Amino acid sequence: MTRLQLPKDFLWGYATASYQIEGAPHEDGRADSIWDTFCRIPGKIADGSNGDVACDSYHRYKEDVALLKDVGAKAYRFSISWSRVIPLGGREDPVNDAGLQYYVNLVNELHANGIVPMVTLFHWDLPQALYNRYGGFMNKDEYVQDYVNFARLMFNTMGGKVKHWITYNEPWCSSILGYNIGQFAPGHTSDRTKSSIGDSSTEPWLVGHTLLVSHGAAVRVYREDFKPKDGGTIGIVLNGDWVEPWDLNEPRDVEACERKLEFSIAWFADPIYKGDYPASMRKQLGERLPRFTNNERALVQGSNDFYGMNHYCANYIKHKPTESEPEDYLGNLEYLLKDKDGHAIGPETQSPWLRPYPQGFRKLMKWISDRYGRPIIYVTENGTSLKGENDMPMEQILQDDFRAEYFRNYITALAEAVTLDGVDCRGYMAWSLMDNFEWAEGYETRFGVTYVDYEGGQKRYPKKSARVIAEVFTSFCQS
């Protein structure tokens, strides 16, 4: 039997995002993002909460870094709050040096502790001012210039110290959850019971296009003006769950599986690696799916130095025998938690969409690797919530065997993909370093390997899973 192995210098660690952990929304000149305003709308966040305090990382970043060191992390993926560094967001708007300094301090603290920073420029918190000014992502020409200006500011400020850049976290979520379902900021949807504005049949595809083009434009700036001297790498992070047919013997379910992967992953990855949207999307969406101009294609195609992969779970997929609805974003199919025989894909967690299925991780890594010519992959998120965790006493929370097993199984699946399938994976960031603001789920759902005591002054207590992750990587990474 081949021994499962990961490279000795494999970059493993933890991920977080600005709005989920920082708090301090009005300190040192930060202005609102679309998440600050979204949280103020009654009914949008499960427990009525917001990111006003969160993990208080704006004041406790040194504790965060000490925690990372404590749990043996080699790397830390965090994101920039755009409205902290350019409060009004735009290319003519003033830069906020105090906000910028926070990230410089964080990066310095990471380096002082031997931890590699991985920076996500955008993890969903668009400056509210840009949404008000021209509709944010819906105005491609304005938005691309403002995003590139923001990206350039960050490259300029930290390019010497940051060698791993991510343009976007999960553009699928910004497009579909933000502009189709309306579950995430800014909450656009055709469903008038949820929002007075939005067109689910057209807006998500326009938003996705804007995000892709702006990603490509920022990568070009990095490659032309920074990469030659700074020598770093840059890529986008895409989310994607694995899929299994609801009925293995139904070819239309098998076909629908591929279509589901195309509508969620290839929507963004095909333009980047192949130069255009997948044929299945063009077929279903027609002219609602934008077309790349020659200039846009030149920006987008080939724009990934690495593929950033967020992955959590899997679903069963059942084809729909009827014509697709205009609001459909899945590829005219149903995704289900049980197959034809009533067998569940995985155990329940606190997140309705998340059922662990570790073998799906290995399969998806291979699918990405095969489809895109064996790119360098960084797993930029992977993790789980735990059913009822928030209601448990603290001693029980710290003994999170379910999460520890999840990580053991998923990291083993990763080692299989690398050792047995030849997938070129260079790093892995678990989601998340600590419990934090889980978007529309508020604080009821915890994803951390560290317990955060929100009532007791945001104190942090490592859970068992933090120790297990270190053990698992230590055993795979010895050569």
Which stretches of the chain bind ligand PNW, using CB under 6 A? 17, 20, 169-170, 173, 239, 310, 353, 381, 431, 438, 447
Contact 86, 153 (CB under 8 A): yes
What are 427's strand-pairing partners?
11, 378
Cβ closest to ligand PNW, residue 170 vs residue 389:
170
Element of type H or E holding 294: helix 294-300
Q: How far is CA 49 from the centre of its chain?
A: 21
In the complex, what is the shortest distance from the CB of residue 441 to ligand PNW, in angstroms, rounded to a whole number? 8
In the complex, what is the shortest distance from the CB of residue 192 to ligand PNW, in angstroms, rounded to a whole number? 22
In the complex, what is the shortest distance from the CB of residue 256 to ligand PNW, in angstroms, rounded to a whole number? 18
In the complex, what is the shortest distance from the CB of residue 54 to ligand PNW, in angstroms, rounded to a whole number? 12
Cβ closest to ligand PNW, residue 36 vs residue 170:
170
Cβ closest to ligand PNW, residue 17 vs residue 418:
17
Residue 352 and residue 393: Cα distance in Å, rounded? 22
Residue 304 and residue 168: Cα distance in Å, rounded? 12
47 torsion bin: left (phi>0), alpha (psi -120 to 50), beta (else) = alpha
Residue 93 and residue 5: Cα distance in Å, rounded? 49
Strands 333-336 and 314-319: antiparallel
Active site residue 334: no
Phi, psi of 90 (to 5 degrees): -85, 170
Which residue out of 22, 109, 170, 416 is catalytically annotated?
A: 170
Cβ closest to ligand PNW, residue 73 vs residue 299:
73
Cβ closest to ligand PNW, residue 227 vs residue 318:
318
The answer to whether the bond into 186 is cis (omega within 30° of 0) is: yes
Residue 92 and residue 79: Cα distance in Å, rounded? 23
In the complex, what is the shortest distance from the CB of residue 315 to ligand PNW, in angstroms, rounded to a whole number? 10
Q: Let me know if 238 is exposed, middle or buried by CB neighbors in 10 A (0-12, 13-18, 19+).
A: buried
Nearest residue to ligand PNW on Cβ basis: 353
Cβ closest to ligand PNW, residue 198 vs residue 448:
448
Phi, psi of 245 (to 5 degrees): -65, 140
Contact 237, 165 (CB under 8 A): no
Closest CA to 260 of 240, 276, 279, 274: 240
Contact 402, 410 (CB under 8 A): no
Query: Tokens representing 299?
Result: 């920006």
Q: Let me know if 146 is exposed, middle or buried by CB neighbors in 10 A (0-12, 13-18, 19+).
A: buried
Active site residue 170: yes
Residue 364 and residue 356: Cα distance in Å, rounded? 14
Which residue out of 22, 244, 296, 381 is catalytically annotated?
A: 381
In the complex, what is the shortest distance from the CB of residue 170 to ligand PNW, in angstroms, rounded to a whole number? 5
Cα distance between the two ends of the chain = 17
Cβ closest to ligand PNW, residue 140 vs residue 318:
318
Element of type H or E holding 78: strand 75-79
In the complex, what is the shortest distance from the CB of residue 366 to ligand PNW, in angstroms, rounded to a whole number? 21
In the complex, what is the shortest distance from the CB of residue 120 to ligand PNW, in angstroms, rounded to a whole number? 9
Q: Let me know if 373 is exposed, middle or buried by CB neighbors in 10 A (0-12, 13-18, 19+).
A: exposed
In the complex, what is the shortest distance from the CB of residue 330 to ligand PNW, in angstroms, rounded to a whole number? 11
Cβ closest to ligand PNW, residue 296 vs residue 381:
381
Contact 125, 19 (CB under 8 A): yes
Cβ closest to ligand PNW, residue 181 vs residue 285:
181
Residues belonging to the active site = 170, 381
